[in-house]
Amino acid sequence: MALAMALAMAAISLSTARFLDDSSAISMVIDGISPARFTELLGEGHKVARFHEFATRHKRVYGSLVELRERFVTFSRNLELIEETNRKELPYTLAVNQFADMSWEEFKKHNLFSSQNCSATTTNSVRAFLTPPSKKDWRDDKIVSPVKNQQHCGSCWTFSTTGALESAHAQATGKMVVLSEQQLVDCAGGYNNFGCNGGLPSQAFEYIRYNGGLDTEDSYPYTGHDGKCTYNQNSIGAKVYDVVNITEGAEDELIHAVAFNRPVSIAYEVLKDFRFYKSGVYTSNVCGTGPDTVNHAVLAVGYNRDAPVPYWIIKNSWGESFGLDGYFYMEMGKNMCGIATCASYPVVPEDFN
Ligand SMILES: *[C@@H]1O[C@H](CO)[C@@H](O)[C@H](O)[C@H]1NC(C)=O
Ligand SMILES: *[C@@H]1O[C@H](CO)[C@@H](O)[C@H](O)[C@H]1NC(C)=O
Protein backbone atom coordinates (compact mmCIF):
# COMPACT_ATOMS: atom_id res chain seq x y z
CA MET A 1 0.00 0.00 0.00
CA ALA A 2 2.73 2.42 0.96
CA LEU A 3 4.58 1.52 -2.22
CA ALA A 4 1.46 2.05 -4.32
CA MET A 5 0.98 5.47 -2.72
CA ALA A 6 4.55 6.44 -3.36
CA LEU A 7 4.28 5.32 -6.96
CA ALA A 8 1.04 7.21 -7.43
CA MET A 9 2.61 10.36 -6.05
CA ALA A 10 5.68 9.96 -8.18
CA ALA A 11 3.48 9.45 -11.19
CA ILE A 12 1.29 12.46 -10.58
CA SER A 13 4.26 14.77 -10.65
CA LEU A 14 5.46 13.55 -14.05
CA SER A 15 5.14 16.37 -16.51
CA THR A 16 3.62 14.47 -19.42
CA ALA A 17 2.13 11.51 -17.59
CA ARG A 18 -0.79 10.86 -15.33
CA PHE A 19 -1.91 7.62 -13.72
CA LEU A 20 -5.30 7.17 -12.12
CA ASP A 21 -4.31 3.77 -10.84
CA ASP A 22 -2.03 0.93 -11.83
CA SER A 23 -4.28 -0.41 -14.56
CA SER A 24 -5.47 2.81 -16.17
CA ALA A 25 -4.89 3.00 -19.89
CA ILE A 26 -3.77 6.60 -19.95
CA SER A 27 -0.88 6.82 -22.31
CA MET A 28 2.44 7.81 -20.95
CA VAL A 29 5.12 9.34 -23.11
CA ILE A 30 8.38 8.06 -21.66
CA ASP A 31 10.12 10.98 -23.31
CA GLY A 32 8.97 13.29 -20.57
CA ILE A 33 10.31 11.22 -17.65
CA SER A 34 13.68 11.99 -16.14
CA PRO A 35 16.09 9.19 -15.13
CA ALA A 36 15.47 10.13 -11.49
CA ARG A 37 11.72 9.62 -11.83
CA PHE A 38 12.35 6.37 -13.66
CA THR A 39 14.44 5.16 -10.73
CA GLU A 40 11.60 6.05 -8.37
CA LEU A 41 9.24 3.95 -10.47
CA LEU A 42 11.45 0.95 -11.24
CA GLY A 43 14.35 0.98 -8.81
CA GLU A 44 18.10 1.48 -9.11
CA GLY A 45 20.61 -0.18 -11.34
CA HIS A 46 22.18 -0.32 -14.74
CA LYS A 47 19.20 -2.11 -16.28
CA VAL A 48 16.87 0.72 -15.29
CA ALA A 49 19.29 3.25 -16.75
CA ARG A 50 19.53 1.28 -20.00
CA PHE A 51 15.74 0.91 -20.14
CA HIS A 52 15.31 4.66 -19.72
CA GLU A 53 17.78 5.29 -22.51
CA PHE A 54 15.97 2.76 -24.73
CA ALA A 55 12.47 4.08 -24.04
CA THR A 56 13.55 7.67 -24.68
CA ARG A 57 15.37 6.87 -27.90
CA HIS A 58 12.47 4.83 -29.28
CA LYS A 59 9.76 7.20 -27.99
CA ARG A 60 7.89 4.43 -26.25
CA VAL A 61 4.34 4.97 -25.09
CA TYR A 62 3.07 2.50 -22.50
CA GLY A 63 -0.53 2.33 -21.41
CA SER A 64 -0.07 2.04 -17.67
CA LEU A 65 2.34 1.46 -14.82
CA VAL A 66 1.57 -2.25 -15.06
CA GLU A 67 2.69 -2.29 -18.67
CA LEU A 68 5.75 -0.19 -17.87
CA ARG A 69 6.83 -2.79 -15.30
CA GLU A 70 6.11 -5.71 -17.63
CA ARG A 71 8.10 -4.10 -20.41
CA PHE A 72 10.95 -3.52 -18.01
CA VAL A 73 11.00 -7.22 -17.07
CA THR A 74 11.11 -8.18 -20.76
CA PHE A 75 13.77 -5.57 -21.48
CA SER A 76 15.90 -6.90 -18.61
CA ARG A 77 15.75 -10.46 -19.98
CA ASN A 78 16.72 -9.28 -23.44
CA LEU A 79 19.56 -7.19 -22.03
CA GLU A 80 20.87 -10.29 -20.23
CA LEU A 81 20.77 -12.26 -23.49
CA ILE A 82 22.63 -9.46 -25.29
CA GLU A 83 25.30 -9.06 -22.61
CA GLU A 84 25.80 -12.83 -22.18
CA THR A 85 26.20 -13.33 -25.93
CA ASN A 86 28.66 -10.46 -26.24
CA ARG A 87 30.81 -11.91 -23.44
CA LYS A 88 31.34 -15.09 -25.49
CA GLU A 89 33.53 -13.25 -28.01
CA LEU A 90 31.74 -14.64 -31.03
CA PRO A 91 32.43 -13.25 -34.52
CA TYR A 92 29.33 -11.03 -34.13
CA THR A 93 27.95 -8.66 -31.53
CA LEU A 94 24.44 -7.86 -30.34
CA ALA A 95 23.01 -4.58 -29.10
CA VAL A 96 19.81 -3.14 -27.71
CA ASN A 97 17.59 -2.08 -30.62
CA GLN A 98 13.91 -1.30 -31.30
CA PHE A 99 12.91 -4.89 -30.42
CA ALA A 100 14.36 -4.84 -26.89
CA ASP A 101 11.05 -4.46 -25.04
CA MET A 102 9.35 -7.29 -26.97
CA SER A 103 9.40 -10.89 -25.81
CA TRP A 104 10.59 -13.55 -28.26
CA GLU A 105 7.01 -14.87 -28.51
CA GLU A 106 5.68 -11.44 -29.44
CA PHE A 107 8.48 -10.90 -31.91
CA LYS A 108 7.84 -14.24 -33.61
CA LYS A 109 4.14 -13.53 -33.82
CA HIS A 110 4.42 -10.04 -35.31
CA ASN A 111 7.71 -9.96 -37.20
CA LEU A 112 8.38 -13.45 -38.54
CA PHE A 113 6.28 -15.93 -40.43
CA SER A 114 5.39 -19.31 -39.04
CA SER A 115 7.21 -21.90 -41.08
CA GLN A 116 6.51 -21.92 -44.79
CA ASN A 117 7.36 -25.22 -46.35
CA CYS A 118 9.49 -24.30 -49.34
CA SER A 119 10.38 -27.82 -50.41
CA ALA A 120 7.87 -27.68 -53.27
CA THR A 121 10.20 -25.26 -54.98
CA THR A 122 11.90 -27.12 -57.80
CA THR A 123 15.07 -25.88 -59.39
CA ASN A 124 15.98 -24.63 -62.83
CA SER A 125 19.20 -22.88 -61.98
CA VAL A 126 22.20 -23.33 -64.25
CA ARG A 127 25.70 -22.85 -62.90
CA ALA A 128 28.25 -21.02 -65.02
CA PHE A 129 31.59 -22.76 -65.67
CA LEU A 130 33.41 -19.76 -64.32
CA THR A 131 35.10 -19.20 -61.01
CA PRO A 132 33.22 -16.60 -58.99
CA PRO A 133 35.25 -13.60 -57.82
CA SER A 134 36.35 -13.65 -54.17
CA LYS A 135 33.93 -10.84 -53.39
CA LYS A 136 30.95 -9.03 -54.83
CA ASP A 137 28.70 -6.25 -53.55
CA TRP A 138 25.83 -5.19 -55.80
CA ARG A 139 25.44 -1.95 -53.84
CA ASP A 140 28.57 -0.78 -55.69
CA ASP A 141 26.62 -1.16 -58.96
CA LYS A 142 23.85 1.14 -57.64
CA ILE A 143 21.11 -1.41 -58.26
CA VAL A 144 20.07 -1.96 -54.62
CA SER A 145 17.21 0.19 -53.31
CA PRO A 146 17.26 1.81 -49.83
CA VAL A 147 16.49 -0.33 -46.76
CA LYS A 148 12.78 -0.44 -45.84
CA ASN A 149 10.85 -1.36 -42.69
CA GLN A 150 8.17 -4.07 -42.59
CA GLN A 151 7.03 -3.01 -39.07
CA HIS A 152 4.84 -5.44 -37.12
CA CYS A 153 3.68 -7.60 -40.02
CA GLY A 154 5.16 -10.94 -41.16
CA SER A 155 5.58 -9.53 -44.66
CA CYS A 156 9.36 -9.96 -44.95
CA TRP A 157 8.77 -12.12 -48.03
CA THR A 158 7.24 -9.11 -49.86
CA PHE A 159 10.32 -6.97 -49.07
CA SER A 160 12.65 -9.73 -50.18
CA THR A 161 10.62 -9.94 -53.39
CA THR A 162 10.53 -6.21 -54.15
CA GLY A 163 14.23 -5.93 -53.26
CA ALA A 164 15.18 -8.62 -55.78
CA LEU A 165 12.87 -7.27 -58.48
CA GLU A 166 13.98 -3.65 -57.97
CA SER A 167 17.55 -4.80 -58.50
CA ALA A 168 16.71 -6.93 -61.55
CA HIS A 169 14.72 -4.07 -63.07
CA ALA A 170 17.42 -1.48 -62.36
CA GLN A 171 20.05 -3.78 -63.83
CA ALA A 172 18.02 -4.34 -67.03
CA THR A 173 16.70 -0.82 -67.60
CA GLY A 174 19.15 1.47 -65.77
CA LYS A 175 16.22 2.88 -63.75
CA MET A 176 15.60 2.36 -60.04
CA VAL A 177 11.85 1.97 -59.54
CA VAL A 178 10.75 1.33 -55.97
CA LEU A 179 8.02 -1.31 -55.90
CA SER A 180 4.92 -2.13 -53.83
CA GLU A 181 5.03 -4.65 -50.98
CA GLN A 182 1.41 -3.93 -50.15
CA GLN A 183 0.20 -5.32 -53.48
CA LEU A 184 1.87 -8.61 -52.58
CA VAL A 185 0.40 -8.56 -49.06
CA ASP A 186 -3.11 -7.88 -50.42
CA CYS A 187 -3.19 -9.69 -53.75
CA ALA A 188 -0.75 -12.65 -53.92
CA GLY A 189 -2.82 -15.08 -51.82
CA GLY A 190 -3.64 -17.28 -54.81
CA TYR A 191 0.02 -18.33 -54.91
CA ASN A 192 0.17 -19.85 -51.43
CA ASN A 193 1.05 -16.57 -49.70
CA PHE A 194 -0.62 -15.26 -46.56
CA GLY A 195 -0.06 -11.51 -46.31
CA CYS A 196 1.15 -10.53 -42.83
CA ASN A 197 1.26 -14.23 -41.92
CA GLY A 198 3.97 -15.11 -44.38
CA GLY A 199 4.74 -16.23 -47.88
CA LEU A 200 7.69 -17.02 -50.11
CA PRO A 201 9.53 -14.86 -52.64
CA SER A 202 9.53 -17.68 -55.23
CA GLN A 203 5.73 -17.80 -55.01
CA ALA A 204 5.50 -14.01 -55.07
CA PHE A 205 7.59 -13.88 -58.28
CA GLU A 206 5.21 -16.40 -59.82
CA TYR A 207 2.27 -14.18 -58.82
CA ILE A 208 3.87 -11.09 -60.40
CA ARG A 209 4.73 -13.05 -63.52
CA TYR A 210 1.18 -14.26 -64.13
CA ASN A 211 -0.47 -11.09 -62.84
CA GLY A 212 1.38 -9.09 -65.47
CA GLY A 213 3.33 -6.81 -63.13
CA LEU A 214 3.85 -5.16 -59.77
CA ASP A 215 2.76 -1.59 -58.99
CA THR A 216 5.14 1.12 -57.81
CA GLU A 217 5.48 1.82 -54.08
CA ASP A 218 4.12 5.37 -54.62
CA SER A 219 0.93 4.16 -56.29
CA TYR A 220 0.31 1.32 -53.83
CA PRO A 221 1.93 2.34 -50.52
CA TYR A 222 2.72 0.09 -47.57
CA THR A 223 0.32 -0.01 -44.62
CA GLY A 224 1.69 -3.01 -42.70
CA HIS A 225 -1.77 -4.60 -42.46
CA ASP A 226 -3.66 -7.12 -44.54
CA GLY A 227 -6.04 -5.29 -46.87
CA LYS A 228 -8.21 -5.54 -49.94
CA CYS A 229 -6.41 -5.90 -53.27
CA THR A 230 -6.37 -2.60 -55.20
CA TYR A 231 -3.83 -3.47 -57.88
CA ASN A 232 -3.90 -1.02 -60.77
CA GLN A 233 -2.45 -2.14 -64.09
CA ASN A 234 -1.77 1.46 -65.07
CA SER A 235 0.71 1.83 -62.19
CA ILE A 236 2.99 -1.13 -62.95
CA GLY A 237 6.63 -0.48 -62.07
CA ALA A 238 8.20 -3.80 -63.07
CA LYS A 239 7.38 -7.18 -64.61
CA VAL A 240 8.68 -10.72 -64.19
CA TYR A 241 9.44 -12.82 -67.26
CA ASP A 242 10.79 -15.91 -65.50
CA VAL A 243 11.82 -17.16 -62.05
CA VAL A 244 15.01 -19.03 -61.18
CA ASN A 245 14.95 -21.28 -58.09
CA ILE A 246 18.26 -22.35 -56.54
CA THR A 247 18.56 -26.10 -55.79
CA GLU A 248 17.64 -26.67 -52.14
CA GLY A 249 20.72 -26.18 -49.97
CA ALA A 250 23.14 -25.66 -52.90
CA GLU A 251 25.12 -22.75 -51.54
CA ASP A 252 27.68 -22.91 -54.38
CA GLU A 253 24.81 -22.35 -56.82
CA LEU A 254 23.73 -19.37 -54.73
CA ILE A 255 27.26 -17.98 -54.92
CA HIS A 256 27.21 -18.30 -58.72
CA ALA A 257 23.82 -16.58 -58.90
CA VAL A 258 24.91 -13.64 -56.75
CA ALA A 259 28.33 -13.40 -58.39
CA PHE A 260 27.21 -13.49 -62.02
CA ASN A 261 23.55 -12.51 -62.05
CA ARG A 262 22.15 -10.22 -59.37
CA PRO A 263 20.85 -10.04 -55.78
CA VAL A 264 18.92 -13.17 -54.78
CA SER A 265 15.94 -13.60 -52.43
CA ILE A 266 16.76 -16.00 -49.62
CA ALA A 267 15.06 -17.29 -46.48
CA TYR A 268 16.63 -18.54 -43.23
CA GLU A 269 15.79 -19.27 -39.62
CA VAL A 270 15.87 -16.32 -37.21
CA LEU A 271 16.66 -17.39 -33.66
CA LYS A 272 16.13 -15.44 -30.45
CA ASP A 273 19.50 -13.69 -30.41
CA PHE A 274 19.51 -12.69 -34.08
CA ARG A 275 16.94 -9.93 -33.66
CA PHE A 276 19.55 -7.97 -31.67
CA TYR A 277 22.36 -8.41 -34.24
CA LYS A 278 24.54 -5.32 -34.38
CA SER A 279 27.77 -6.12 -36.26
CA GLY A 280 30.18 -8.83 -37.37
CA VAL A 281 29.48 -12.19 -39.01
CA TYR A 282 26.45 -14.02 -37.64
CA THR A 283 26.90 -17.73 -37.06
CA SER A 284 25.03 -20.39 -35.07
CA ASN A 285 25.31 -24.08 -34.17
CA VAL A 286 21.63 -24.38 -33.43
CA CYS A 287 19.60 -22.81 -36.22
CA GLY A 288 17.98 -25.20 -38.67
CA THR A 289 18.70 -25.57 -42.39
CA GLY A 290 15.55 -27.35 -43.54
CA PRO A 291 12.77 -26.12 -45.84
CA ASP A 292 10.33 -26.06 -42.92
CA THR A 293 12.50 -24.17 -40.40
CA VAL A 294 13.00 -20.94 -42.36
CA ASN A 295 10.96 -18.08 -40.87
CA HIS A 296 12.34 -14.91 -42.45
CA ALA A 297 13.01 -13.80 -46.03
CA VAL A 298 15.68 -11.27 -46.99
CA LEU A 299 17.96 -10.35 -49.90
CA ALA A 300 21.54 -11.50 -50.51
CA VAL A 301 23.26 -8.56 -52.25
CA GLY A 302 26.84 -9.82 -52.12
CA TYR A 303 29.52 -11.75 -50.27
CA ASN A 304 33.14 -11.57 -49.19
CA ARG A 305 35.35 -14.64 -49.15
CA ASP A 306 38.54 -12.69 -48.40
CA ALA A 307 37.48 -12.03 -44.81
CA PRO A 308 38.75 -14.23 -41.90
CA VAL A 309 35.21 -15.59 -41.59
CA PRO A 310 33.76 -15.49 -45.16
CA TYR A 311 30.31 -13.92 -45.20
CA TRP A 312 27.17 -13.08 -47.14
CA ILE A 313 26.07 -9.43 -47.29
CA ILE A 314 22.35 -9.39 -46.63
CA LYS A 315 19.72 -6.67 -46.81
CA ASN A 316 17.08 -6.88 -44.10
CA SER A 317 13.69 -5.12 -43.84
CA TRP A 318 13.79 -4.00 -40.19
CA GLY A 319 14.74 -0.38 -40.90
CA GLU A 320 18.15 1.28 -41.19
CA SER A 321 18.81 1.20 -37.46
CA PHE A 322 19.03 -2.60 -37.46
CA GLY A 323 22.55 -4.09 -37.67
CA LEU A 324 24.92 -2.51 -40.18
CA ASP A 325 22.72 0.29 -41.57
CA GLY A 326 19.91 -2.20 -42.09
CA TYR A 327 22.19 -5.00 -43.38
CA PHE A 328 23.87 -8.00 -41.74
CA TYR A 329 26.63 -10.47 -42.50
CA MET A 330 26.04 -14.22 -42.28
CA GLU A 331 28.74 -16.90 -42.34
CA MET A 332 29.25 -18.50 -45.77
CA GLY A 333 29.87 -22.13 -46.66
CA LYS A 334 27.64 -24.05 -44.23
CA ASN A 335 24.18 -23.26 -45.56
CA MET A 336 24.00 -21.27 -42.32
CA CYS A 337 20.44 -21.18 -40.94
CA GLY A 338 19.17 -22.47 -44.30
CA ILE A 339 20.33 -19.51 -46.35
CA ALA A 340 20.50 -21.58 -49.57
CA THR A 341 17.46 -23.71 -48.79
CA CYS A 342 14.82 -21.51 -50.29
CA ALA A 343 16.53 -19.07 -52.67
CA SER A 344 15.26 -17.60 -55.93
CA TYR A 345 15.49 -14.58 -58.19
CA PRO A 346 13.46 -13.06 -60.99
CA VAL A 347 14.31 -12.59 -64.66
CA VAL A 348 12.77 -9.42 -66.10
CA PRO A 349 11.69 -8.78 -69.69
CA GLU A 350 14.26 -6.99 -71.85
CA ASP A 351 11.72 -4.66 -73.39
CA PHE A 352 9.94 -3.09 -70.38
CA ASN A 353 8.99 0.49 -71.34
C1 LIG B 1 6.80 -30.10 -46.93
O2 LIG B 1 6.39 -30.39 -48.27
C3 LIG B 1 6.88 -31.63 -48.74
C4 LIG B 1 6.51 -31.75 -50.21
O5 LIG B 1 5.25 -31.24 -50.50
C6 LIG B 1 6.29 -32.75 -47.86
O7 LIG B 1 6.79 -34.00 -48.29
C8 LIG B 1 6.71 -32.52 -46.40
O9 LIG B 1 6.10 -33.46 -45.55
C10 LIG B 1 6.29 -31.12 -45.94
N11 LIG B 1 6.82 -30.86 -44.61
C12 LIG B 1 6.08 -30.29 -43.66
C13 LIG B 1 6.74 -30.11 -42.33
O14 LIG B 1 4.94 -29.90 -43.83
C1 LIG C 1 10.10 -22.12 -58.54
O2 LIG C 1 9.39 -22.11 -57.33
C3 LIG C 1 8.03 -21.71 -57.45
C4 LIG C 1 7.43 -21.59 -56.08
O5 LIG C 1 7.67 -22.69 -55.28
C6 LIG C 1 7.29 -22.72 -58.30
O7 LIG C 1 5.94 -22.33 -58.47
C8 LIG C 1 7.97 -22.78 -59.67
O9 LIG C 1 7.36 -23.76 -60.45
C10 LIG C 1 9.45 -23.09 -59.52
N11 LIG C 1 10.07 -22.98 -60.81
C12 LIG C 1 10.68 -23.97 -61.42
C13 LIG C 1 11.23 -23.68 -62.76
O14 LIG C 1 10.81 -25.06 -60.90
Per residue in 299-310, pLDDT (tens digit) is: 999 999 999 999
Stretch among 21-35, 98-112, 236-250, 261-275 having the lowest mean pLDDT: 21-35
pLDDT at 7 over 70: no
Question: In residues, how long is the chain?
Answer: 353
Answer yes or no: is pLDDT of 198 > 80.
yes
* Ligand 2 in reach of 243 Cβ (< 6 A): yes
DSSP state of 140: G
Q: 10 Å Cβ neighbour count for 62?
A: 20
Confirm or reject: Cβ of 203 under 6 Å from ligand 2: yes
Which is more confident, 19 or 347?
347
Q: Quick check: 331 pLDDT over 90?
A: yes
The yes-or-no answer on residue 46 being catalytic is no
The Cβ of residue 215 has, within 10 Å, a number of other Cβ atoms equal to 24
Residue 194, burial from CB neighbour count under 10 angstroms (0-12, 13-18, 19+): middle
More confident call, 147 vs 15: 147
User: Does the pLDDT of residue 120 top 60, yes or no?
Assistant: no
Domain boundaries, the chain: 2-89, 105-347
Catalytic one of 156, 196, 287, 342: 156
Task: Report d(CA 86, CA 92) in Å as an integer.
Answer: 8
**CATH topology for the 105-347 domain:** Cathepsin B; Chain A (3.90.70)
Residue 256 known to be catalytic: no
Q: What is the pLDDT of residue 122?
A: 64
Mean pLDDT of the chain, nearest integer: 88
Report pLDDT for 60.
Answer: 85
pLDDT for 335: 95
Atom of ligand 1 nearest to the CA of 291: 1
292-301 pLDDT tens trace = 899 999 999 9
- pLDDT value of position 350: 80
Q: Residue 203 CA: which ligand 2 atom is closest?
A: 4
Percent of the chain scoring above 70 in pLDDT = 87
Pocket test for ligand 1, best of 292, 295, 341 (most atoms within 8 A of CB): 292
Is it the case that residue 15 has pLDDT exceeding 80?
no
For ligand 2, the distance from its centroid to the CA atom of residue 285, given in whole angstroms, is: 30
| 342 counts as catalytic | no
Confidence of residue 24 (pLDDT cuts 50, 70, 90): very low
**Mutation probe of ligand 2 site: the residue of 116, 205, 207, 243 with most atoms within 8 A of C-beta:** 243
**Beta partners for 250?**
none
Q: How confident is the model at residue 8 (pLDDT cuts 50, 70, 90)?
A: very low
Residue 243 Cα to ligand 2 midpoint, Å, equals: 7
Say what the pLDDT of residue 126 is: 67
Residues 240-247 have a mean pLDDT of 93
- Does 120 sit in the ligand 1 pocket, CB within 6 Å? yes
| Segment (H or E) for 298 | strand 296-304
Question: Whose Cα sits closest to atom 10 in ligand 1?
Answer: 117
Q: What is the pTM of this model?
A: 0.89
